[in-house]
Amino acid sequence: MAAFGAFVLTGTLLLSLPAAADGQATPFMTALFTATSAASVTGLAVVDTSGHWSGFGETVILVLIQIGGFGIMALATVLSLLVSRRMGLRMAVTTGAETKSVSLGEVRQLVLGVLWVTLVFEVLLAAVLTLRWWTAYDLTFTAALHTGVFHSVSSFNNAGFSLYSDNLMGYATDPWITLPVAFGVIAGGLGFPVWVELWRFSRKHKEKRHWTLHAKFTLGMTAALLAVGFVAFLALEWTNPATMGPLDTEDKVLTAFFQSVMPRTAGFNSLDFGAMQTQTLLVTDMLMFIGGGSAGTAGGIKVTTFAVLILVAYANVRGEPTVHAGGRRLSAGTASQATTVAMLALGLVLAGTLVLMIVTPFTLDQILFETTSAFATVGLSTGITADVPPVGQAVLVFLMFVGRIGPITLASALALRRHSRLYELPEERPIVG
């Protein structure tokens, strides 16, 4: 967490330089907000990215996004290995089997694997986007390459920063822009462990294939939430004259799919969220809060956490003492860990919402949308970010910082610190419900 703080501070200082904004020094809070948003791969912005920042400033933002996204993915992957090895060690002690700790060689291999996956996806996305902007729009090859690389890095890292003032609203009906960006967001949001399993799955014979619960939860919940978002956007915005209303059926389907992907959590938008129905904003709040996959570039409490919570509730309703899924039994520690992460996340979002309601004149749906987007490192907004006062911006900075680092470190700490009591107190059951 200290390293991430130092990284954000370095980005803040660089963005404060006159060279980052065409000779004009940027106020510290604006630089801090932008650096935090970029490093945490959120995408919220208090100034127009293309209008305020110079080429140097845009490069700093791009580097912050790349290092921030790669660093979080690598850190989360290594921590997940540490947790799994720690759990494996405890089981080995019980069964008498042998195990070993995580070696530096394994860490190096994991980091290189994350780097390889990142570069492959970003290069492919950059090639497609560059070719489209170069051949279909009035851009030189250099400008198209710059635009393509920037949006490729921003999409795979789930950042949502765009070089256009209206984000991607100008390309809402262009599938050669929106679909590659959506694919990049999904790819980055699945996480490195899932891509490793997908790779192994494609190389093994059918009878030898085996999916971990993590991969099943991530892929299953991602598909389910994409479907829920798609149907919700279509149903709620179909006749809205300020969003999907004027579009034909084919374009409505395209924009609904694109916007269902963005709460995964990337802040790109091809429609104006400020003009959307209140019901649509609430659905998006829930999708953003859940987020994407663990050990990836997405934020939120993660789809695996949400899946565990659903299974725990289902088991309790059925009166079952343990939670089963996919032919496996979930440990009690996993259930309590998921509950703790979700409750703390909910508490932070509500606390931030309360503060912003005090210091800003905006409505509850606008503020809740903003705070959820900040904590879940999404970057979607109804357009109020630039008008939030410095106190409110400081709250959003805190939520972005904690939302990027907090769930990862908290979940790992809970798993690694788990120990058994030497004694138990007398049992008593309070009335619940």
Q: Tens digit of pLDDT for each residue in 335-375?
A: 888 888 899 899 999 999 999 999 999 999 999 999 999 99
More confidently predicted of 265 and 14: 14
What letter represents residue 326's amino acid?
A: G
Q: Is residue 152 within 8 Å of 122, Cβ to Cβ?
A: yes
pLDDT surpasses 50 at 100: no
Which pLDDT band holds residue 99 (cuts at 50, 70, 90)?
very low
Q: Which of 16-20, 124-128, 210-214, 264-268 has the lowest mean pLDDT?
A: 210-214
Residue with tokens 């809060």: 289
Q: Which of 50-59, 203-212, 234-243, 317-326 has the lowest mean pLDDT?
A: 203-212
Alpha helices (H) along 205-266: 213-237, 249-261
Q: Which of 13-22, 158-167, 371-380, 420-429 has the lowest mean pLDDT?
A: 420-429
Which pLDDT band holds residue 92 (cuts at 50, 70, 90)?
very low
Element (H, E) at 324: strand 323-325
Which pLDDT band holds residue 87 (cuts at 50, 70, 90)?
very low
User: Taking residues 219-248, what's their average pLDDT?
Assistant: 95
Cα distances (angstroms) measured from residue 244 to each of 262, 271, 283, 370? 16, 8, 17, 22
pLDDT attached to residue 93: 31
The 10s digit of each residue's pLDDT in 257-268 is 999 999 988 889
pTM: 0.87
Q: Is residue 118 within 8 Å of 156, Cβ to Cβ?
A: yes
pLDDT attached to residue 162: 93
User: Taking residues 180-198, what's their average pLDDT?
Assistant: 89
Q: Which of 30-39, 103-112, 265-274 has the lowest mean pLDDT?
A: 103-112
Nearest to 285 by CA among 380, 394, 155: 380
User: Taking residues 399-418, what's their average pLDDT?
Assistant: 67
Determine the 3-state secondary structure of 47 from DSSP: coil
First to last CA, the chain: 38
Nearest to 292 by CA among 197, 193, 368: 193
